[in-house]
Structure 1
């Protein structure tokens, strides 16, 4: 069992299937700033808006040597459709076994339409070029969030 992430921790050494028929190991991304954002479900309104906000600001992130990665429990097939439809210029990671979700403690009890279930709490994590966690945002509200993350990357 991986220890939960906290500020100062390094990118976790976990391999996950990603869009573009690849496997991405976060620990190997050292050397770039890395934003890992967790979202509940492909093609839902909030998740689509959040992804579009990252997409629309990708040039600013790239200028700061920052990689964006979206993570949910959806399948690669679902991710590929979502990425293509929204023209996301970044990869989406599939975490059906919740290995990365658990490492970041983003699986929380949620309520919708009077039902309780375990789901992904919208959360974002920023790692610096040395691979260390510098910022985390939990219970994210989509509006204005990407601007906040971009501002934090500028401070690195």
Structure 2
């Protein structure tokens, strides 16, 4: 499957999710979908990022926006992470890297002095018709929430 690009329709994907369900993009037709990719459950930056989405969840629902977190962790690990952090949104398991490849978020990264393949923290906004309308790459957790909410506010004007 080729990678998705800005202003193009996102292919209707399917992924296993927390709550023991299979989620498809088409399930959310008529809503904005915020798809955020993060490296690994239960790590400091990923905890903070998820908590930021959790703490602003009501604002996202006011903007008709569904939040979905994506990493390569298993659904079982996601369940524990979601429960421990009290996330009101689902986490998708992408062990086979299908979504990671579709959105081109797997990059070579330095970890403890070694090159490793990993998810580059990235967020994508899909409009109610299924078109990719904005992307944030190399996300900085501290300022990201403000950027995302500002973009949704602009779209609501």
Summarize deviations over 1:26-77 as a string: whole Å, max 9, x none.
1332200110000000000000000000000000000111000000000000
Match of 2:105 in 1: 106
Corresponding position: 1:23 with 2:16: no
Quote the offset at 1:125 in angstroms.
0.2
Aligned length: 155
Match of 2:82 in 1: 83
Match of 1:50 in 2: 49
1:1-80 aligned within 5 A = 2-80=1-79
After TM superposition, the score normalised by the length of structure 1 is: 0.96
- Structure 2: tracts of 5 or more residues without a match: none
Contact 1:39–1:71 under 8 Å retained in 2? yes
Contact 1:11–1:27 under 8 Å retained in 2? no
Match of 2:94 in 1: 95
- Structure 1: tracts of 5 or more residues without a match: none
What CA distance in whole angstroms lies between the structure 1 residues aligned with 2:145 and 2:132? 17
Summarize deviations over 1:76-130 as a string: whole Å, max 9, x none.
0000000000000000000000000000000000101111110000000001112
After TM superposition, the score normalised by the length of structure 2 is: 0.96
What CA distance in whole angstroms lies between the structure 2 residues aligned with 1:62 and 1:11? 21
More off after superposition, 138-147 vs 90-99: 138-147
